[in-house]
Amino acid sequence: MDINALFTDEGLRNFTATVRDQHVRDAQQYGQIADIVRRRLEQTPIEGDRWMAKRLRAWKVARQLKAMQKASTEAAAKAEALYATYVNEVLELPQRRAVAEAKRLERKQGRQAAVGAAVAGSLNRTVTALNTPQEQPGGTVPQARPAEFVTPESPFEQWPMAAGGERPTSTINDYFAKGEQG
């Protein structure tokens, strides 16, 4: 067998087909032999056998041949799996990589276009915001509510706070006039 021919599609296909066919034939032969051996041993008594000893002995011997049949069937399946794996992992790999690279480049270009559009939109909003005149003069803080002025009737007017003076502690009478019933 030429080892270099094994690394071509046709060479590996021929090798795996030959191996597969050989294992399939072997599995068939093992199955036929197992049936013949089992039936012959079931009909051949050995001195001192009990009533089920023949069948049990025949089953034990035929079981080994059935295991060989199963192993050959699995080997035939593995030969086909060898060819399929070789085609998938070696022969078709360059084509799959080329397709994946093309998809990757397409996604990258799509992302770049999306980022470019987002940057352009952001710049447009910034330019629009900077060129729009504002109602408030710069440096002032907008008021959340209008300023409140203390009226002369307010109890806070009684204690001047200007020169760091302290307000005396308040009692309830400071807030409610005496004698009011509510």
Calpha distance 58→39 (Å, rounded) = 7
With a cut of 80, say whether residue 16 has pLDDT above it. yes
With a cut of 90, say whether residue 35 has pLDDT above it. yes
* 60-92 per-position pLDDT tens digit: 999 999 999 999 999 999 999 999 999 999 999
For residue 13, the 8-state DSSP code is: H
Q: Which residues of 114-152 are buried (b: 16+ CB within 10 A; e: fewer)?
A: eeeeeeeeeeeeeeeeeeeeeeeeeeeeeeeeeeeeeee
Q: What are phi and psi of 136, to 5 degrees?
A: -95, 140
* 115-158 per-position pLDDT tens digit: 888 888 888 888 887 777 666 555 666 656 665 555 556 555 55
Calpha distance 69→27 (Å, rounded) = 4
Q: Which has the closest alpha carbon to 172: 161, 180, 164, 163? A: 180
Calpha distance 42→117 (Å, rounded) = 84
Calpha distance 16→19 (Å, rounded) = 5
What's the predicted TM-score (pTM) here?
Answer: 0.53
- The ranges assigned to domains in the chain are 5-91, 92-127
Q: Take residue 50 and report the two structure tokens written for it.
A: 């009990």
